[in-house]
């Protein structure tokens, strides 16, 4: 489970096995047992979430948007794309 970074206790990461065939670029966010998944392409958007409230999801969406380029670099680097 490659970690991209942490922010305010939220861990941003992707799984090393993201499906066969590989799912489109996305990032998972976890904190205190809560989990969310955000698609990175073509636009950043929430895919699904468990346990986060709407305020947290709004903050997380903005954080993913701010770091989309960095996250895409990490995704492409890890999966040799």
Centroid of chain to Cα 41: 11
Instruction: Tell me what pLDDT residue 65 has.
Output: 98
For residues 78 and 37, give the distance between their C-alpha atoms in angstroms, rounded to a whole number: 18
Instruction: Tell me what pLDDT residue 1 has.
Output: 78
Instruction: Tell me what pLDDT residue 18 has.
Output: 76
Helix (H, G, I), strand (E, B) or coil at 36: strand
Which two structure tokens, joined as six digits, stand for 48? 């699904």
pTM of the predicted protein model: 0.93
pLDDT values of the chain reduced to their tens digit, one per residue, 81 residues? 799 999 999 999 998 887 778 899 999 999 999 999 999 999 999 999 999 999 999 999 999 999 999 999 999 999 887
């Amino acid at each position: 489970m490659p970690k991209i970074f942490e922010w305010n206790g939220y861990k941003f990461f992707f799984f090393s096995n993201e499906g066969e065939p590989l799912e489109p670029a996305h990032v998972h966010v976890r904190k205190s047992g809560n989990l969310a998944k955000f698609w990175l392409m073509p636009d950043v958007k929430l895919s699904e979430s468990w346990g986060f409230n709407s305020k947290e999801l709004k903050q997380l969406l903005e954080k993913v948007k701010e770091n989309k380029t960095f996250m895409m670099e990490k995704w492409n680097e890890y999966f040799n794309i």
